[in-house]
Amino acid sequence: MKKTAKHLLECLGVGIGALWLVGCAGQARSGDDQPTVQTLTADSIAIHQVINPHQWAVSAGKAVVQTLRMDSLFYVYSLPDFRFLYAWGRRGNGPGEMLPTQMLNAFDGDTDSLVLRFTAPATFRTYRVGQEAFTATDTLAVRSDGRGFSLRRPFPHGFVGDIRIKNKEEKEVLYVCRPGTEAQTVDSLELPTKVKAKYSDRGTLIEMVRWNCPYLVVRGDRVAMVYQMVSHVDFYCLTPEGKLILEASTGVPLDQDLAGRLETMAEAPRREFVAGFSATDRYLYVSRPTVEVDPETGQASILEAKVQVYRWEDGKLQSELLLGLSSIDILVTRDDRYLFARNPLEDFDWVYVYRLDLLRGKTSDNKE
């Protein structure tokens, strides 16, 4: 079954842009060395639960699959065998029930806890994923979104990262804030993205289109900004005082020439985009497939499934992994041994497993 490009991003849980619809020290470095390219083959694991995944994550050594249209919001599986353990989070407004939410740290890899975002009241709630249920461990009150656009998530050292439109200008800014109902800005960074926005007479945002918007991945005190439309990643360190320090910048330059071409690039029938992430203490894994979109129907076909592997220590693009079976939404275990992938254009009947530890061993043998 083929799906439209917009539906594809919705299935992946990364449809943020309306385009488609570690210590802190040193200066920024550019990682321009050519990465190794390796083709992987997969084993497959059958999934017997009938669910419609929206997003997934690794937490406490388990896979957590979030759904949007099922009675339970989360399905939990053991790793690496991907054996079903339990469903949690009954959908609804009644006692013991919860409304659909968002996993804010799904891209960060296994950090032993999940952070869920709730809107009434505006809070980040942290859960430990146990063998039989989730256990709430912390709650953080955050500022309400109000009438504007805001992408907010937890940052290191107890701060909150927030991407917002700057004073109704067509510019996006990443703010580092102290949490609370009235957030205090500690640092800010204007982003090299392109935005078109319309507001009502009362100042309410009514329409917005974003090009090349960044995704934020956090690991320890590191923050990676992965841009949607071009192969570019900026690696920052967040100090205990809440200051962002650029440590490495890798990939296509984000200059004015690129900014002028973004709208044209978005209309190209064949394009790359970011489909998913997973992080470990050593590496940042970015799934960046190539798709082809039928200009008449909007249906998307996956031409190549590629995962870029960056090193946290210096931002270097170390390798590119080519996956078969058009499996582009990824998870990686904390020990960098297993990569799990799914094809969002298909029903969730199979999970594909790639052995990264065998790949590294083979590479080491070849070097010797």
Looking at residue 140, its amino acid is: L
> What local confidence, expressed as pLDDT, does residue 20 receive?
30
For the residues of 221-254, what is the DSSP string, one character each?
TEEEEEESSSSEEEEEEE-TTS-EEEEEEEES--
Type and span of the H or E element at 266 = helix 256-266
> What local confidence, expressed as pLDDT, does residue 58 receive?
96
Rounded Cα distance, 37 and 317, in Å: 11
For the chain, which residues make up each domain, given as ranges? 3-361
Measured in degrees and rounded to the nearest 5, phi and psi for residue 135 equal -125, 125
> What local confidence, expressed as pLDDT, does residue 99 receive?
85
Rounded Cα distance, 63 and 85, in Å: 10
**What 3-state class would DSSP assign to 303?**
strand
Q: What is the pTM of this model?
A: 0.86
For domain 3-361, give the fold: Neuraminidase (2.120.10)
pLDDT (tens, 9 = 90+) of the chain, 368 residues, equals: 455 555 555 545 444 333 333 345 444 545 456 889 999 999 999 999 989 899 999 999 999 999 988 899 999 999 999 999 999 999 988 888 888 888 999 999 998 899 999 887 788 999 999 999 999 999 888 776 555 567 889 999 989 998 887 766 678 889 999 887 556 889 999 988 877 777 777 777 777 778 788 899 999 999 999 998 788 999 999 999 999 999 999 988 877 676 667 666 666 777 788 889 999 999 999 999 988 888 788 787 888 899 999 999 999 999 999 997 778 899 999 999 999 999 887 889 999 999 998 666 554 444 43
Q: Is 360 exposed, middle or buried (0-12, 13-18, 19+ CB in 10 A)?
A: middle
Looking at residue 187, its amino acid is: D
